[in-house]
Homo-oligomer: A and B are copies of this chain.
Amino acid sequence: MAYDFAETFRDIIKTEGGKIVLCVLDGLGGIPSEKFGGKTELEFAKTPNLDKLAKISAKGLHIPVEFGVTPGSGPSHLAIFGYDPVKNIIKRGIMEALGIGIEPEADEIFARGNFAKCSVENGKIKVLDRRAGRISTEINEKICDTLNLQIKEIDGVRIKFYPVKEHRFCVSFKSNSISDEIGDTDPQKVGAYIRKPEIIGEKTEQKEKISTVAYELTLRVSEILKGNEYAQGILLRGFSKTPDIQSFEERWKLRSLAIASYPMYRGITKILGMSVAHLSEGTLKEQINVLKQNFDKYDFFYFHYKKTDSAGEDGNFEAKVKAIEEFDQHLEDIINIKPDVLAITGDHSTPSEMAGHSFHPVPLLIYSKSRIFQDGEGRFTERDCMKGVIGTIYATKILPLLLAFAGRLEKFGA
């Protein structure tokens, strides 16, 4: 992106206009599967409601970050929300924290951690297995309990361990005199020694302190875990506090509600200052009810659906097809709420053929009550979207287009 849209065109963004619903079907895009007749999940799925909507909408594809780049959920969501995903980075530590539902406090810094097999040599800790043989989540939880009991703080910095999955955990450092601009303790190599994190940029007391405390922590953990049969050390990466990103409302002049049940998406939208709806079940039905009940109170609704991505990650073509069909069955209930602009897309592609995120452009559909160039033909599939009127665009262009369709942009220049 050559320049920042919201900055450059700030003066033409209005505070009034139509209501926008953006449905993100996580990992929506796919690639053809030979086993299923050379079709993608979207092509294989029976989607009568999406088919109908596609005819009266504008279609296209979006490139989340850049041609060839497979994005994580952080960058892809930032791009869809109209932020430069290269300049606005949500680092690993905070992403991991958000992913397990932690609500970051002020002055709290997170690091992503691995439990590892280690040995101590001359006071230095050598890495023997970076994942401790992928210990079970139960063992992980037990080790975290032990550490939380024995280490409350180091040098005035409060320490807390949170188990994640298998060998992965998250650790928080809280103090008003530390910075997150340091490197990792993790040497990334078996046989190498755990490091005191490097200072990034100019030296300051705050950076020196977090580096010293982080290294001290790895030494103390080693002592506590000496003789433990599963893991004898920890590797820390991606130290990060809550990033300082312009709020979505400030940026786009939209009062916004996030309707998402998964912690990571709730966390990202919270960082952007959106209101995040309370959900008890997290079903599509509940999400649609929340949308309906709050429709008068907000201008913009982010509606997140996770199942498409989970099925794709599992490499389960049929489950992804089913997830798409389930969304399709609920589509009319969303349409009946009568948003002025309704966009349906994914944050990135997760082809079940690849069982993971991919770099492929993502189908995009925009319906608008007015100002719309309807495609008139084609289904909501990767290949039909290629021929759509929107063309293939960068994800950062989606928000400006939604504002334009909603009548929220004034004329630029005389």
Contact = CB atoms under 8 A, between A and B. Distances in A.
A73 B371 contact: no
B373 A67 contact: no
A36 to B, nearest CB: 14
Interface string A66-97: 11111111110000000001100111100110
A32 to B, nearest CB: 6
B401 A90 contact: no
A5 interface: yes
A160 interface: no
B401 A68 contact: yes
A391 B386 contact: yes
Given A75-B412, A391-B392, A8 B70 contact: no
Nearest to A73: B414
A240 to B, nearest CB: 10
A71 to B, nearest CB: 5
A295 interface: no
Interface string A248-279: 00000000000000000000000000000000
Interface of A: 1-3, 5, 8-9, 12, 31-32, 38, 65-75, 85-86, 89-92, 95-96, 238, 354, 356-360, 370-374, 376, 382-383, 386-387, 389, 391-393, 397, 400-404, 409-414
Residue from A38, A66, A382 with most neighbouring chain B CB atoms (10 Å): A66
A371 B2 contact: no
29 contacts: A1-B2, A3-B86, A5-B68, A32-B374, A38-B376, A66-B400, A67-B397, A67-B400, A68-B397, A68-B400, A68-B401, A68-B402, A68-B404, A68-B409, A69-B409, A69-B412, A70-B411, A71-B413, A72-B411, A74-B413, A74-B414, A92-B414, A96-B414, A357-B411, A359-B404, A360-B373, A382-B389, A383-B389, A387-B387
Contacts of A8: 66, 86
